[in-house]
Structure formats: structure tokens, C-alpha cells
């Protein structure tokens, strides 16, 4: 049986030392689906990842997962150490912006540009460009999840093969994430609840994903709308400054009884979309074709998204969602408009669902299978 080894900085929860569960981010969900593609093709997936504590070896859903300890600031050498132990075809699933020495004949994945913030020093950005020039020279293929990295690479890297970068946008299971269906009376069948409209932020609670920006927007909206509920549906890394700030904000908030935070298991997150009326993707920087955005659109929810990274590939402003700059005033304004305009919510939800159908996971699986088959044939 052929082996496909996936190298990544995160899969099972190495942040909180819970090696028997998946960390609930988009990268981890992506790798989970990629492992299922590999198994369906008759090959063996093995995940090699970094561990923020001790090294470990475990199994998750039939896939062997091997964790490696590493020193902070030594990501490139950590990936090289994983590559020395890995067998078969190597897929570098993260950290391509580091100066890694890649094994020849391998594939890389760029999940979106994560250096697109004005506060990042130009010297750092120059280093990123150099790292990607190295990646495009060293890897046989780089899979990009959005057109923005593809354009970036074409502008800063030299490569003769136009197919060196393969664009495979992220996907959604449109049969699993579905809109609520009309009942016999023509109204939406929604889980029972006691309160008014619910705004959902289905994101990992981190700075780049916009948690601080959304907290500021929520301050305005909760004060204005007494029946509004705001749910942060995503993972917190305990002990970080962001987690401490969020806990303090929530515990001291005058409307804390209308602020909810929960980390859903991957197979349960559909429940969050079913209870919501509006979904918000408030990313500040570092975004590909967001899985959460696609899930919300597929579920028929009107989406407010920031004009960051691959979100621009998914949302056309005022056609299938609202696209705004990444600041709290713009986000609060867009949510406010949707709260007050029910017909607009319905229109954006309907066209968002139609958009999501173009990103169905069946297409993603077929395209990834073709990439792996071609690469294994070369090997």
C-alpha cells in the first residue's frame, strides 16, 4: 500500500495537550478531508505534526498521527526532521512561508496569504517572498486554496511551468450543510429558542480571525438590540492573551447573558448554523477560501465577511453576502443592516446557498485525487 505522509504544524490538539481530539480549525478540517481522499483511493495517510509538549504517537479515525517536539522559532528545521522520518509521497500542508529544505518530488499546500497585515515589517515580507521562491523551485506542485496566493506567487516568483500552482478552492458538503426547509405553513422550521435574532461567529477565537474586532462590534449591537444573541462558535487556546482578554470581556460584560462561546465538534457544528440568523466572518488578515464562510452560505445564512484574502473569491458584495473592510464599525454597520432588513437576509441567504453549490466537496475530492494520482505516477 502506498503511503502519503502529510506534514503540518497542527492536526490533533497539540495546543492543549489533548492528543485524542482534533483541534477545531480550518487547517485541521482540511487535513481530515484530505486523509479521507487518500484512504478512498486505496492509499495510507499518515500525519506528522508539531507538538507543543512531548512527542507522541496516536491514531485518529484510522489515521496514524505522529507528534514531534520542537523549539520555538525553529519551524523549518522541525519540518525537515519530520520529513526525515516520513515515508512515501510527502505533502507539506502548512508553513510554506518558512525556508524549509523540501524533499524532492513533494507537494505543498498554501491555505491563504497570512502576511497580509500592514503592521508586518517589510523585511519580514521580503523573507516570505524568498521562502516561496524556494518552495516553487523545490516542490513539484503547490496547491493554492484561493486566487490571491496564485497571483502573489506569479508576481514574486519565477517558474516556467504554468501548472506548478494548482488552484483547488476549499469546499463544503452541501448535502450536510443545508438551509432550513419550509414547513406546511411556509415559515422556516428552526430549533426552539427563547430569544430574538442570533448572530454567529463560526471562527477560531484568535486575533487574525477577528475576535477583537467582533467583540467591539458586539458591544454596539448588544446595546442597541435587546433581543440579540451573539455566539462565538470556535476554539480558544487557553492561557493565551487572546483567551484571557475574551474571558475578561465576557465575564464583565453588562450583556454577558446574551454572549455565548462554545467549541463544537466537527460533526456538530451544523447545529450552530441551524440556530443562527446571520453569520459573520470578521477576519483581519490571514484568510483563504474560508470553510466557515462556505458552510454558512451552504446553510442558507446571510453572511457578513471582510474583504480579506480568499473571502473575495466567495462573496460578491450585496449579491450573495455583504463584504466590508476589516474594522468593527463596518462590520457592525453591515450586521445592523441585516438585522433591520429581513428581505435582504432572505435574498443573500438564497444566493449564498447557490454559490456554495459551486464549491461542493465532491469536486474538491475529485481534483485532489487527480493531483495525487499524477504525483504518485511521477514517483
The three-state secondary structure class of 3 is strand
pTM of the model: 0.90
- Using the predicted structure, report yes or no on whether residue 207 has a pLDDT greater than 70: yes
Which grid cell sits at 95?
508553513
User: φ and ψ at 199, to 5 degrees?
Assistant: -100, 125
Which of 34-43, 69-78, 191-200, 207-216 has the least mean pLDDT?
Answer: 191-200
- Using the predicted structure, report yes or no on whether residue 191 has a pLDDT greater than 70: no
CA-wise closest residue to 163 among 23, 1, 307, 367: 367
pLDDT, tens digit, 9 for 90 and up, residues 86-111: 999 999 999 999 999 999 999 999 99
| Sign of the Cα pseudo-torsion (359, 317, 113, 61, in order) | negative
- pLDDT at site 184: 37
pLDDT band at 195 (very low <50, low <70, confident <90, very high): low
Which grid cell sits at 321?
453576502
- pLDDT at site 162: 85
Average pLDDT over residues 310-332: 98
CA pair distance 173, 159, nearest whole angstrom: 34
- pLDDT at site 352: 98
CA pair distance 278, 305, nearest whole angstrom: 11
Helices 241-252 and 211-224, axial angle in degrees (round to 10): 10
- pLDDT at site 236: 84
| Sign of the Cα pseudo-torsion (357, 363, 364, 367, in order) | negative
Q: What's the burial of 138, exposed, middle or buried (CB within 10 Å: 0-12/13-18/19+)?
A: middle
pLDDT band at 182 (very low <50, low <70, confident <90, very high): low
Which grid cell sits at 53?
509538549
- CB distance 220 to 255 below 8 Å: no
CA pair distance 362, 365, nearest whole angstrom: 5
- Tell me which DSSP letter residue 78 carries: H
Q: Residue ranges of the alpha helices (H) in the chain?
A: 26-40, 75-85, 122-138, 147-156, 211-224, 241-252, 270-275, 291-298, 311-314, 328-340, 342-357, 361-378
Which grid cell sits at 64?
496514524
CA-atom Rg of the chain in angstroms: 21
Please count the other Cβ atoms lying within 10 Å of the Cβ belonging to residue 222. 19
Helices 147-156 and 122-138, axial angle in degrees (round to 10): 90
CA-wise closest residue to 175 among 12, 376, 360, 366: 360
- Tell me which DSSP letter residue 353 carries: H
- CB distance 335 to 221 below 8 Å: yes
In sequence order, the 6+-apart residues with CB closer than 8 A to the CB of 23 are: 10, 11, 12, 13, 14, 15, 16, 235
Residue-range domains of the chain with CATH? 3-171+361-378 (3.40.50.2000), 198-357 (3.40.50.2000)
The three-state secondary structure class of 10 is coil
Amino acid at each position: 500500500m502506498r503511503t502519503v505522509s502529510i506534514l503540518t504544524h497542527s492536526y490533533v490538539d497539540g495546543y492543549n495537550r489533548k492528543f485524542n481530539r482534533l483541534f477545531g480549525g480550518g487547517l485541521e478540517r482540511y487535513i481530515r478531508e484530505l486523509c479521507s481522499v487518500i484512504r478512498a483511493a486505496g492509499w495510507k495517510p499518515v500525519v506528522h505534526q508539531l507538538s507543543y509538549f512531548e512527542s507522541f504517537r496516536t491514531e485518529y479515525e484510522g489515521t496514524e498521527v505522529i507528534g514531534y517536539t520542537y523549539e520555538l522559532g525553529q519551524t523549518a528545521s522541525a519540518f525537515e526532521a519530520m520529513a526525515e522520518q516520513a515515508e512515501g509521497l510527502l505533502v507539506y500542508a502548512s508553513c510554506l512561508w518558512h525556508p524549509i529544505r523540501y524533499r524532492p518530488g513533494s507537494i505543498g499546500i498554501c491555505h491563504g496569504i497570512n502576511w497580509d497585515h500592514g503592521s508586518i515589517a517589510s523585511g519580514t515580507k521580503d523573507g516570505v517572498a524568498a521562502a516561496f521562491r524556494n518552495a516553487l523551485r523545490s516542490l513539484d506542485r503547490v496547491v493554492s486554496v484561493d486566487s490571491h496566493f496564485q497571483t502573489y506567487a506569479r508576481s514574486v516568483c519565477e517558474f516556467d511551468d504554468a501548472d506548478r500552482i494548482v488552484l483547488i478552492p476549499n469546499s463544503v458538503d452541501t448535502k450536510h450543510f443545508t438551509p432550513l426547509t419550509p414547513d406546511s405553513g411556509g415559515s422556516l422550521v428552526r430549533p426552539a429558542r427563547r430569544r430574538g435574532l442570533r448572530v454567529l461567529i463560526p471562527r477560531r477565537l484568535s486575533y487574525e480571525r477577528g475576535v477583537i474586532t467582533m467583540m467591539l462590534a458586539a458591544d454596539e449591537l448588544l446595546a442597541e438590540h435587546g433581543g440579540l444573541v451573539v455566539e462565538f462558535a470556535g476554539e480558544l487556546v487557553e492561557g493565551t492573551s487572546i483567551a484571557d482578554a475574551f474571558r475578561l470581556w465576557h465575564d464583565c460584560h453588562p450583556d454577558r447573558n446574551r454572549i455565548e462561546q462554545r467549541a463544537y465538534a466537527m460533526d456538530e457544528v451544523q447545529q450552530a448554523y441551524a440556530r443562527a440568523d446571520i453569520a459573520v466572518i470578521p477576519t483581519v488578515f490571514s484568510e483563504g477560501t474560508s470553510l466557515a464562510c462556505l458552510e454558512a452560505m451552504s446553510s442558507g445564512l446571510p453572511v457578513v465577511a471582510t474583504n480579506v484574502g480568499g473571502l473575495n473569491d466567495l462573496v460578491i458584495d450585496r449579491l450573495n453576502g455583504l463584504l466590508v473592510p476589516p474594522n468593527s464599525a463596518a462590520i457592525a454597520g453591515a450586521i445592523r443592516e441585516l438585522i433591520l432588513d429581513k428581505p435582504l437576509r432572505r435574498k443573500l441567504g438564497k444566493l449564498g446557498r447557490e454559490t456554495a453549490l459551486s464549491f461542493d466537496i465532491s469536486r474538491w475530492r475529485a481534483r485532489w485525487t487527480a493531483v495525487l494520482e499524477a504525483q504518485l505516477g511521477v514517483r
